[in-house]
Amino acid sequence: MEQLKVDLGKRSYPISIGSNIIEKDNIFWPLKPGNQAMLVTNKKLANLFKDHVLFHLRKSGIKIDQIILSDGEQYKTLNEMELILSALLEKKHSRDTTLIALGGGVIGDITGFAASIYQRGVRFIQIPTTLLSQVDAAVGGKTSVNHLLGKNMIGSFWQPSSVIINVNYLKSLPYNELISGIAEVVKYAVILDEPFFYWLEENIQLILSLNDQAISYCIKKCCELKSYLISLDEREKNLRALLNLGHTFGHAIEVHSGYGNWLHGEAVSVGMIMAARTSELLGYLDKQDLKRILILLKRIGLPIKGPKNMSAASYLPYMMRDKKVISGEIRLVLPISIGQAKIYSNVDKNIILSAIKRSQ
């Protein structure tokens, strides 16, 4: 087992990474014998992992209740979150309770948001079960639910007390969800770490085959990169926004297509290409770097073209609702080379439309 630390002063917390780590002593820190907690998961994961986690929580002396939510991005709603709040009240959970999110990005986000508002804030622990949540969504304290008009528009910053990454969970992951998570891995390399991008080019088959050593290194590297940015900019005032490479375009695809019809990583993959083409058209990104990004995403099996039934012009209304918009101006994260990205305002909308059209 390896441990990293997200350094946020009094809100600092550990990330534990390893195989079968649910069985380790004191893994559910900061929970202690006699503490009250609520496990939140979905119907699909309840059949796979819930009983194993509950067994070890009870073995640790935790008084544990549970709630099982519906599975899917379309259920990342205020209504579904209210089920968590109602269960906490019905079971008489007090301010010293802890919510435990067992699931992917949807369960992690909705549980974290519930924790941030229940009795004005209680602790929560992340146990991410998908690659996307292990390398990205479970770390950093962004919690939210979706709105019909925009993804992740209702939420809060609320850091977990700990993140427990059990690499073994990935073996049950459907292949399309595995590669969806790898899109976020590529994102980290493009914005922050050229040597890591080169490593991905050399080792992508090992990752796709879930080689223990390769996947563990990959998860740890992404957590280190994200922890670094979060420690500098917890609430996304500037640098942390780099983590949104591809997301402004990608969220437009997700909302337009209907939540759940495109996996998040699939939409981000197309969004990264659109951002890279925008950067190339502006004269920032070299054609060879764009080609390397395209080739890597294709080798992974990720889409590099947007939905056929979505016109270039239809992206803009969604992009104008993006959380990075300030004073009516779209701000885009653009790669300027592999390993370096910047945030740009006032990008000509005709260039954005041209980049989208080249990615259709």
Looking at the annotation, which residues are catalytic? 120, 142, 184, 226, 236, 240, 244, 247, 251, 264
Contact yes or no for 173/265 (Cβ under 8 A): no
What are the angstrom distances between the C-alpha of 149 and each of 44, 288, 353?
27, 37, 21
Q: Which of 142, 131, 158 is nearest to 215 (CA)?
A: 131
Q: At what angle do helices 194-208 and 287-300 cross, to 10 degrees?
A: 20
Q: Which residues of 277-311 are buried (b: 16+ CB within 10 A; e: fewer)?
A: bbbbbbebbeeebbebbbebbeebebbbebbeebe
Contact yes or no for 284/317 (Cβ under 8 A): no
Contact yes or no for 64/37 (Cβ under 8 A): yes
